[in-house]
A and B are shown apart, each in its own frame.
Chain A
Amino acid sequence: MDVKENTPEPSANEKVHAINQTKILEVIFVALLILVLVAAIFEAWTYSFVAARPPLIILGVALLLVIIQARRLRKGILGVLIGEELKKSLQKKDSVVRKVAAITGCMLALVAAMVVAGQHIAVGLFIFILMYYVSKESFKLSFNVALGSIAVIFLLFEWVLDIELYRGIVYLLLNGYKVF
C-alpha cells in the first residue's frame, strides 16, 4: 500500500493563487445562491397562503444573510480580477477545479450508465475507466479492482441482503416492463 510522493511545498505565488481561487469560488457560490433563492421566492409566491408562509419567511431571511455575506466578500476581492483567475484555474493542468469538474462529470455519467445498462455493468465500467484511463493505473489492477468490486457488491447486496439492484432500462424493456 504505497503512498503517493509528497508534492513540493507550494510557492508564495501559488499560495496567493489558492486564496484567490477560494475567494472567487465563494463569489460564484454566493451568486448562485442568490439566483436560487430569488427563483424559489418567486415559486413559493404562487403557493396557497398557508403553504407559502414558512418557505417565504425562511427564504427571505436566507436571502438577507446571503446579501450581507456578498457585501462582506466585496471588500475582500478588490483587486482580484475574477475573469483572469478563473481562466487560470481552468487552464492549469491538474487544477482543483478541473479535477472536481471531472469527477462530478464521471459520477453523472455513472448514473446515466446505470439507468441504461444496469448497476453492475455501469459500476464496473466506471471503476475501470477511472482507474485505467484517468489515473493511469495498470490494466491488471484496474481490471481486478473493477471486477472485485462488482463481485463484492453483488454478493453483499443481492445475495446476502436480497435487494434487487437496478437492472437498467435495456433489461427492463427486454422483459416487458412499460418503461415509457
Chain B
Amino acid sequence: MDMLAAFGSGLSQALSLEVFPYLLVGSLFGLIIGVIPGLSGHFAMAMAIPFLYSMEPNAGIAFLLGAHATVAQGGGITAILFSTPGTGQNAATLLDGPPMRDKGLAGQAVGAALMSCFMGATFGAVSLALLLPVLQKVVLWFGPPEIVVLAFLALTFVAVLGKEDMNRSLIAGFLGLFLSMVGLDNVTNQERFTFDMLQLTDGLALVPVIMGLFAVSEITDLWAKGGSLTGNQVKPLSARETQKQIFEGIGLALKHWWLVIRCSFIGTVMGLIPGLGSAPAAFVAYGHAKQTSKTKETFGQGNIEGVIGPEAANDAVEGGALASTIAFGIPGSSSMAILLSGLFILGMETGPRMVSEHADIVFIMIFTIVIGNFIGTVVGSFLVNPLSRCTFLRSSILVPVLIAIVFTGSYAVNREVFDILIVIVFGLIGYLMKTLNYSRAAMLIGFVLGHAIEKNLYLSIKLSGNFFFLEPIPLVLSAITLIFLIYNLWPQKSVPTAPAQKKEA
C-alpha cells in the first residue's frame, strides 16, 4: 500500500463514525486515568484490554492509543494543581508547575502544559510517519552499548539540574542508583537488599516511589505549613481569570515553539530506546530547557519553560516508543507490551509486514495520537476550573483526602499493600530531601536509569567486549557526554555550605 493512499485512508478511517467515538471515549478515559495519582499509561492499557475483544481492529486501536495518548496530559494537570504527579512522566513538571500555581498562574501553566503535550505528541507521531520506511534500520542501531551510553548521558543531567549544589545532587543521584539495585539480579540470581521479602524481589515499584518522593512529600509539607496549597499570598482565581490564563498558556507554548521542537526531539529519541521509560525523557528535556534558557536562574521558581519542556517531551516519547514497537513487534516499555498484545487480540500483526501491508493502520495510530491529544487538550482545559478551585481549600481538608487518593492509586497499580508502605517511607525521605535541598529529581533519575545502565553495561561487555564504547554510535554519544560534562562543570562557582535559600531542583 503506498504511503499517500495509506495516509488518506488512515485519516478518513480515524474520523469515521465507526472509529471516532472509540477514539473519543479512549481519550477521555486516558485523561481521567492520568489525573488520578498513581495510575499511569500502563494501567490504562491494561484496563482497556478486556474491551478489545468486541471491537473492530481500527476502532480498537483508536481506543487503545487514544487512552494512552492523553494520560500524560491528565497527569500534568494534577502535577501542576496539586503538586502530585498523576503519572511518572509528569514528575519533571513538578519542578516549575506548582511554583507557577503559587504565583497565581496555575491556568497559564496548565494551558502551556496541555498545548506542549499536544505539540510534542504531534511531533512524535510525525516522526513516526517519516521514519516508517527506515524504521527497522533505525531501531536496530540501539543495542546494549548504545543504551548504556545514552542512559549515562541522561544521568549526567544530574549535573545540570543540581549545578548550584553539586554535592547534594550527586548524593541524591547515587542514592537513586543504589535504590535501583534492590531486587533479584537475574544474572546471578542474587537477591540484593530484599531481606527475603517477596514483595521486593522485583525491586521497588516505580509508581509508589514517585508518589512518595513527589506527592506525599508535598502533602506532608502542606500539612506542616498549614494554610492552602497556593500559600496565603494569592487570592483565589475567578473562573474567567483562569480561562484567560489557559489561553495565555496555550499562546506561550506556541511562542516557544522552537523549545517545544527540541524537547520533542529529545522525547522521541529516548522513546526509541527500549527500557528507559518516559520519566527520564521529561527530566532530560527539563535540563535542556534550563540550560538553553535566557532566564535560567528562575528555573525552579515558576518559569514556564520548565513546564513546556518536560510536557513536550513526555508526549513525544510515545511516538518513538510506538516506532520501535511496530518495527519488530518488540515492545519498548511495559505499556507497549500491553499494546502489542492488544494488537494481537485485534488480529493485527506487527513487524515489517504491518508497515508494508497495513500502512493505513499505522496511519490510524498516528492520527489517533494527534487527535486524541487534541481532545485531551480541549477537555483538559475545561477540567482545570473546577479542579483548581480545590487548590484553595485549606490543608486540613485537602491533606487527608489527597493522602487517601494517593494511597488508593498506589495500591491499585499492583494490588499490593506493601506498596503503600513504600509510599510512606519515600514520602518521609522526599520531605526531608525537599527541606534539606537534596534533589529528588536526581534521585529519581538515578533510580529509573540505574537498572538500564547496570544491565546494559554487563551485556555490552559480554557481547562486544571491554571496549564496546569504541563502536561508532556509542563513541559519538560518549564524546557528547564528555563535552556536555566539561561545559557544565568548568566554571566551578563556590558551593554554599548551608542549604541555599532558593528551591531545590
Contact residues of A with B, CB < 8 Å? 1-4, 6-7, 19, 22-23, 25-26, 29, 33, 37, 40, 43-44, 47-48, 50-52, 54-55, 58-59, 61-62, 65-66, 68-69, 72-73, 75-76, 96, 99-100, 103-104, 107-108, 110-111, 114-115, 119, 123, 126-127, 130-131, 134-135, 137, 141, 145, 149, 153, 156-157, 161-166
Q: How far is the CA of A2 from the CA of B454 in the complex (A)?
A: 51
Could you say which of A54, A59, A127 contacts B400, with CB atoms under 8 Å apart? A127
Classify the interface of chain A: helix, strand, loop or mixed.
Answer: helix
B188 touches A130 (CB 8 A): no
Tell me which residues across on chain A come within 8 A of B8, comparing CB atoms.
Answer: none
Tell me which residues across on chain B come within 8 A of A54, comparing CB atoms.
Answer: 181, 454
Q: List 16 A-B contacts (CB under 8 A).
A: A3-B228, A4-B228, A22-B436, A23-B498, A25-B435, A33-B175, A62-B171, A65-B167, A69-B168, A100-B223, A104-B427, A111-B424, A115-B417, A123-B404, A127-B404, A141-B397
Tell me which residues across on chain A come within 8 A of B175, comparing CB atoms.
Answer: 33, 62
Could you say which of A48, A58, A134, A137 contacts B188, with CB atoms under 8 Å apart? A48
A81 to chain B, nearest CB (A): 17
B347 at the interface (CB under 8 A from A): no
Could you say which of B174, B408, B498 contacts A58, with CB atoms under 8 Å apart? B174
Tell me which residues across on chain B come within 8 A of A119, comparing CB atoms.
Answer: 408, 411
A44 touches B396 (CB 8 A): no
Tell me which residues across on chain A come within 8 A of B167, comparing CB atoms.
Answer: 65, 68-69, 72
Q: Which 5 A-B pairs have the closest CB atoms?
A: A135-B396, A51-B190, A62-B174, A51-B188, A127-B400
Answer whether A157 and B408 are a contact pair too, CB < 8 Å, given A54-B454, A65-B167, A164-B415. yes
A163 to chain B, nearest CB (A): 5
A37 to chain B, nearest CB (A): 8
Tell me which residues across on chain B come within 8 A of A108, comparing CB atoms.
Answer: 424
A10 to chain B, nearest CB (A): 12
Could you say which of B193, B226, B427 contacts A40, with CB atoms under 8 Å apart? B193
B404 touches A126 (CB 8 A): yes
Q: How far is the CA of A65 from the CA of B435 in the complex (A)?
A: 19
A27 to chain B, nearest CB (A): 10
Tell me which residues across on chain A come within 8 A of B432, comparing CB atoms.
Answer: 25, 29
Specify the chain B residue showing the minimal Cβ separation from A114: B417
Answer whether A55 and B392 are a contact pair too, CB < 8 Å, given A62-B174, A166-B417. no
Could you say which of A1, A149, A161 contacts B236, with CB atoms under 8 Å apart? A1
B427 touches A107 (CB 8 A): yes
Q: How far is the CA of A44 from the CA of B216 in the complex (A)?
A: 30
B186 to chain A, nearest CB (A): 10
Could you say which of A25, A51, A161 contacts B436, with CB atoms under 8 Å apart? A25
Could you say which of A99, A110, A111 contacts B224, with CB atoms under 8 Å apart? A99
Q: Interface 1/0s, chain B 195-223, versus A by CB < 8 A?
A: 00000000000000000000010001001
Specify the chain A residue showing the minimal Cβ separation from B407: A110
Tell me which residues across on chain B come within 8 A of A7, comparing CB atoms.
Answer: 226
B87 to chain A, nearest CB (A): 15
Tell me which residues across on chain B come within 8 A of A110, comparing CB atoms.
Answer: 403, 407
Could you say which of A2, A69, A162 contacts B394, with CB atoms under 8 Å apart? A2
B401 at the interface (CB under 8 A from A): yes
A99 touches B417 (CB 8 A): no
Tell me which residues across on chain B come within 8 A of A104, comparing CB atoms.
Answer: 220, 424, 427-428
A18 to chain B, nearest CB (A): 11
Contact-residue bracket for chain B = 35 or more
Q: How far is the CA of A65 from the CA of B177 in the complex (A)?
A: 14
B412 touches A137 (CB 8 A): no
Could you say which of B36, B395, B436, B454 contacts A156, with CB atoms under 8 Å apart? B36
Tell me which residues across on chain B come within 8 A of A43, comparing CB atoms.
Answer: 193
Could you say which of A51, A100, A107, A156 contacts B192, with CB atoms under 8 Å apart? A51
B498 touches A19 (CB 8 A): yes
B499 touches A48 (CB 8 A): no
Could you say which of B224, B421, B428, B454 contacts A96, with CB atoms under 8 Å apart? B224
Q: A29-B436, A51-B187, A149-B400 are in contact. List 20 more A-B contacts (CB 8 A).
A: A1-B236, A2-B394, A23-B498, A25-B436, A26-B499, A29-B432, A50-B188, A51-B185, A55-B193, A103-B223, A103-B224, A111-B421, A123-B404, A123-B407, A135-B396, A137-B396, A149-B401, A153-B408, A161-B47, A162-B47
Q: How far is the CA of A62 from the CA of B178 in the complex (A)?
A: 9
Q: How far is the CA of A69 from the CA of B495 in the complex (A)?
A: 11
Q: Interface 1/0s, chain B 20-63, versus A by CB < 8 A?
A: 00000000000000001000000000010000000000000000
Tell me which residues across on chain A come within 8 A of B395, comparing CB atoms.
Answer: 4
Tell me which residues across on chain B come within 8 A of A50, comparing CB atoms.
Answer: 187-188
A20 to chain B, nearest CB (A): 10
Which of A61, A62, A157 has the most chain B CB atoms closer than 10 A to its own CB? A62
Q: How far is the CA of A3 from the CA of B178 in the complex (A)?
A: 42
Could you say which of A6, A37, A47, A115 contacts B232, with CB atoms under 8 Å apart? A6
Tell me which residues across on chain A come within 8 A of B236, comparing CB atoms.
Answer: 1, 3
Q: How far is the CA of A47 from the CA of B220 in the complex (A)?
A: 37
Could you say which of A44, A69, A134, A165 contacts B171, with CB atoms under 8 Å apart? A69
B269 at the interface (CB under 8 A from A): no
B404 touches A153 (CB 8 A): yes
Q: Interface 1/0s, chain B 403-419, versus A by CB < 8 A?
A: 11101100110010100
A22 touches B435 (CB 8 A): yes
Could you say which of B36, B171, B394, B412 contacts A4, with CB atoms under 8 Å apart? B394
Answer whether A126 and B424 are a contact pair too, CB < 8 Å, given A100-B220, A161-B47. no
